[in-house]
Amino acid sequence: MSKALSLRDAIAAYVRDGMSIAMGCALESSIPFAASHEIIRQRRKDLTLIGPISDIQFDQLIGAGCVKKIQASWVGNVAAGLGHNFRRAAEHGQPVPLAIEEHSNFTIGLALQAAAMGLPFLPTRSIKGSDIAKESHFARVRCPFSGEELLAVAAIQPDLAIIHVQRADDQGNAHLWGNYGVVREAALAAKKVILTCEELVDHSVIVSDPNRTVIPGFAVTSVVHEPNGSFPSPTQGYARRDDAFYFEYHQATRTVEGFHKWLDKYVFGVKNHREFLELLGPERRAALRPEGELFAPPVSFNY
């Protein structure tokens, strides 16, 4: 049976108040913004967000009042600087108090990897001496062989990971390429996975290139065909980054009122992602498309 769903149905079915969700796992690219906008539209709350560098995605969810806790190494606007909503929540509990579990990029990666490996923790040499290491999800451990002191990073098992990929079949077998960030770890750590994809392809396309199958379908709960679903973040081969959108967001969200105007226009003012893309206008959409072609030669799996 096909796992393909509309984004609205997938979010309605699998995102519950109080859940923990890993997103933005590739770092600054392939961020599933279409999905997070739908989460805001469906007014989910008390979420825990998990991810390394969320760019403006976590900032939007925080400002919209959907989030009670983040487990992240960085929250802000990568090109423009600080995230105003993250600041307001961390400094004044506005719109709701925000618990922050501090991490470095590597400790988020290890926490997810530990869960993906079915382990309670993984040891590391990183963040020793940093104040981050004082947090309660880290503990000193000794190597039983050498006696070296290491830091144990507690596993993080998200209730759900939402991941944007280039292509998938209707069973959720997914091809992705470019930087992986912590996508693979998050997909196998999470209890459920929702994919949004640029292209929904036949199963034969997936098995023609098995090295590119980064997420196996048996780990995936539902698949959503959502072209440009990562806008304004880029998806290799399909969409460029709309840098201006991030700078505009930074300016527009300096005040709470400004953020709500932004939200009313881009999230609540549209029914779905397609309407959102239409709102951007033809010029802005056209500018996203990569110019020309840049193909790698095919490889042979002949035997």
Angle among Cα 244, 269, 76 to the nearest 5 degrees reads: 40
Q: Which x/- pattern over 241-280 shows residues binding other proteins (rule: CB under 8 A)?
A: x-x--x----------------------------------
Is residue 262 within 8 A of residue 269, CB to CB? The reply is no
86 part of the interface to other proteins, by CB under 8 A: yes
62 part of the interface to other proteins, by CB under 8 A: no
Task: Give the nearest distance from C-beta 202 to other proteins in angstroms.
Answer: 25
Characterise 159 by phi-psi region: left (phi > 0), alpha (psi -120 to 50), beta (else): alpha
Is residue 193 within 8 A of residue 10, CB to CB? The reply is no
Interface residue with other proteins, options 236, 261, 280, 287 (CB under 8 A): 236
Q: Which x/- pattern over 152-181 shows residues binding other proteins (rule: CB under 8 A)?
A: -------------------------xxxxx
Phi, psi (degrees; rounded to nearest 5) at 295: -100, 145
Dihedral sign of CA atoms 167, 159, 52, 95 in order: positive
Dihedral sign of CA atoms 67, 69, 71, 74 in order: positive
Query: What's the rounded Cα separation, in Å, for the pair 261 and 36?
Result: 17
Interface residue with other proteins, options 127, 161, 163, 206 (CB under 8 A): 127
Query: What's the rounded Cα separation, in Å, for the pair 63 and 153?
Result: 29
Interface residue with other proteins, options 22, 27, 220, 223 (CB under 8 A): 27
Interface residue with other proteins, options 90, 205, 256, 287 (CB under 8 A): 90
148 part of the interface to other proteins, by CB under 8 A: yes
Residues in the chain: 303
196 part of the interface to other proteins, by CB under 8 A: no
Q: Are strands 174-175 and 213-215 parallel, antiparallel or unpaired?
A: antiparallel
Task: Give the nearest distance from C-beta 251 to other proteins in angstroms.
Answer: 16
3-state secondary structure 89-119: HHHHCCCCCCEEEECCHHHHHHHHHHHHCCC
Task: Give the nearest distance from C-beta 284 to other proteins in angstroms.
Answer: 17
Nearer Cβ to other proteins, position 27 or 39? 27
Is residue 237 within 8 A of residue 228, CB to CB? The reply is no
293 part of the interface to other proteins, by CB under 8 A: no
List of residues contacting other proteins (CB under 8 A):
26-29, 52-53, 55, 72-76, 78-79, 82-83, 86-87, 90-91, 102-106, 109-110, 113, 124-132, 148-149, 177-185, 233-234, 236-237, 240-241, 243, 246, 290, 294
